């Protein structure tokens, strides 16, 4: 088998990895939609409490989840290099980090009064928001532990379980949230607190499910992730934080860039604020596609880098960018062509619809550049490069996106004869920010790849076999079980001697 054949169809490998992640991401979004509908039908005050409280909770949660994401490229490198014994301490230190971050998050969410007062939240809504946060804060340990389990499953090529967990969580929340909120089955009606309680229960179940699968499944037992449990190790924690802190900061910057637009346009009136809410909603929904591709790219790049497979690494990055660029262009065209019916689904208000329709061309164009910068940034993280991307995100999203957006919104560009753009100014600046980020990330990625020495000859073939054929989906096992396998001649298909029932088989 040639080296080119061993590299295989990277596009299919990325799609196989990204598809279950996409379904899991969409399932996760559905829980927020359920909370909005349930709280809205209960009372206006509860709807406002869910809106304010969930915004604060998501800010803390995503920052912590971004830090925990530093575990994924590290584990992917260990797996690609067949350093299976390093996976156990990596995972265990990740759990310790989760507990520490969750404790910090709980403390932060227990003191929301200053931010509620700063945003002039009414006393009634503020009281309900505090009740909501007091309960939902308890879900942070479960969320972060589940994210750690998910990071291991991604790094080891097992994303399908995330799809099953995500769908199960969505169905459970769909049943439990309205039951608790409306007081079905004789339960006292809890309103917004019922939504928070459902989230607490379901995230705890997700964490337990992820831990159980890694500990007790036929596949997970081979890695012995829970054996000889270690105390917190400063060296290992520093390794995770070295990547995790910049990733967490990048996640926080991207999230706040879009979240703060709602506050910054509040003075423009209800129609502008409502239009921004509509735009933000379906932009976030569209973002799930390139995000899923980027996570798959990160994992496969990390595995190839760990295996020393430079050629496969380059092809994976190329395939990820091609898939992200192609799908985002198609998505952007569909948004532009179907803008009228899409906007009508979101709002019947003609004034809000008119504002949103004026932004659709900007949003459609933004799809391509947002996909490119997201995938390039994740590929760099797969190579354990995170500080540079963090700086690019700060400059582009806070500098160009927020500051530039505010200037275009309220000041315009008088020297060019451009007046204040209102809400459109922020989304124009957002397009410029993603364009600049995609260019900068592309340059960083190209320069990084050019510095790598490609494997050649027989070494390249063996490198490809390590990172492609002995993938987790095709049943590769830790060192103590590697006697079942051998590196075969280039033209010999790789086979398993004793296939385990129920295991999934895909080619990396």
Q: Identify which of 159, 470, 465 has the alpha carbon closest to the alpha carbon of residue 311.
A: 465
**Residue 502: predicted pLDDT:** 38
Place of tokens 């934080």: 241
* Neighbour count for residue 230 (Cβ, 10 Å): 13
What's the CA dihedral at 75, 81, 84, 86 to 10 degrees? -60
Q: What is the DSSP letter of 506?
A: -
pLDDT of residue 102: 95
* Spatial CA neighbour of 254 closest among 114, 378, 384: 378
- In the block, which residue shows the tokens 């320069």? 447
Q: What is the pTM of this model?
A: 0.80
Element (H, E) at 492: none
Bridge partners of 413?
418
Tracing tokens 């100014």 back to the chain, one arrives at 425
The rounded distance, in Å, linking the Cα atoms of 296 and 158 is 11
Name the DSSP letter for residue 229.
P
Kindly give the parts of the chain with pLDDT less than 50: 1-7, 456-508
Residue 279 has a pLDDT of 84
186: left (phi over 0), alpha (psi -120 to 50) or beta: left
The residue extents of the domains of the chain are 3-450
**pLDDT at site 135:** 95
Output 273-278 pairs: Cβ under 8 A, ≥24 positions apart.
274/347, 274/349, 274/352, 275/352, 275/355, 275/356, 275/359, 275/423, 276/423, 276/426, 278/343, 278/346, 278/347, 278/352, 278/356
Residues 6+ apart with CB under 8 A from 64: 98, 101, 102, 104, 105, 140, 143, 144, 248
Q: Using CA atoms in the order 250, 161, 167, 181, what is the torsion angle rounded to 10 degrees?
A: -70
Distance between CA 337 and CA 347 in Å, rounded?
A: 18
> How far is it, in rounded angstroms, from Cα 486 to Cα 322?
34
């Amino acid at each position: 088998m040639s080296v080119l054949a061993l590299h295989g169809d990277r596009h299919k490998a990325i799609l196989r990895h990204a598809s279950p992640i996409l379904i899991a991401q969409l399932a996760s979004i559905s829980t927020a939609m359920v909370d909005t509908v349930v709280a809205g039908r209960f009372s206006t005050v509860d709807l406002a409490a869910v809106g304010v409280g969930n915004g604060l909770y998501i800010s803390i949660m995503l920052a912590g989840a971004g830090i925990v994401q530093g575990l994924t490229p590290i584990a992917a490198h260990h797996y690609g290099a067949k350093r299976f014994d390093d996976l156990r301490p990596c995972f265990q230190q990740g759990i310790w980090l989760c507990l520490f971050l969750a404790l910090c998050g709980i403390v932060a969410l227990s003191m929301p009064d200053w931010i509620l007062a700063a945003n002039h939240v009414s006393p009634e809504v503020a009281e309900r928001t505090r009740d909501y946060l007091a309960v939902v804060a308890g879900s942070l340990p479960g969320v972060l532990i589940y994210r750690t389990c998910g990071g291991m499953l991604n790094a080891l090529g097992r994303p399908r379980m995330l799809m099953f967990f995500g769908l199960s969580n969505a169905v459970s929340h769909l049943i439990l949230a309205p039951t608790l909120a409306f007081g079905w089955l004789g339960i006292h009606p809890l309103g917004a607190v019922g939504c928070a309680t459902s989230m607490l229960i379901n995230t705890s179940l997700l964490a337990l499910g992820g831990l159980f699968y890694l500990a007790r499944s036929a596949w997970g037992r081979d890695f012995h992730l829970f054996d000889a449990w270690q105390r917190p190790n400063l060296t290992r924690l520093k390794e995770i934080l070295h990547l995790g802190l910049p990733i967490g900061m990048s996640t926080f910057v991207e999230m706040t860039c879009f979240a703060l637009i709602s506050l910054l346009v509040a003075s423009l009136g209800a129609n502008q604020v409502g239009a921004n809410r509509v735009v933000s909603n379906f932009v976030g929904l569209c973002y799930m596609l390139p995000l899923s591709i980027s996570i798959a790219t990160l994992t496969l790049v990390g595995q190839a880098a760990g295996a020393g497979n430079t050629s496969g690494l380059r092809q994976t990055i190329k395939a990820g960018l091609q898939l992200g660029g192609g799908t985002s262009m198609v998505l952007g065209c569909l948004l532009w062509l179907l803008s009228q019916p899409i906007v009508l689904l979101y709002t019947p208000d003609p004034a809000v619809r008119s504002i949103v329709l004026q932004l659709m061309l900007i949003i459609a164009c933004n799809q391509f550049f947002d996909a490119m910068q997201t995938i390039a940034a994740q590929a760099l993280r797969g190579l354990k490069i995170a500080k540079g991307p963090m700086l690019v995100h700060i400059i582009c999203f806070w500098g160009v996106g927020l500051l530039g957006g505010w200037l275009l919104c309220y000041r315009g560009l008088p020297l060019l004869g451009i007046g204040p753009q209102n809400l459109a100014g922020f989304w124009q600046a957002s397009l410029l920010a993603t364009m600049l980020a995609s260019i900068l990330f592309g340059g960083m990625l190209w320069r990084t790849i050019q510095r790598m020495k490609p494997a050649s000859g027989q070494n390249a073939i063996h490198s490809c076999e390590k990172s492609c054929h002995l993938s987790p989906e095709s049943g590769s096992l830790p060192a103590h079980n590697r006697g079942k396998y051998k590196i075969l001649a280039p033209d010999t298909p790789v086979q398993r001697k004793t296939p385990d029932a129920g295991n999934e088989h895909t080619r990396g």
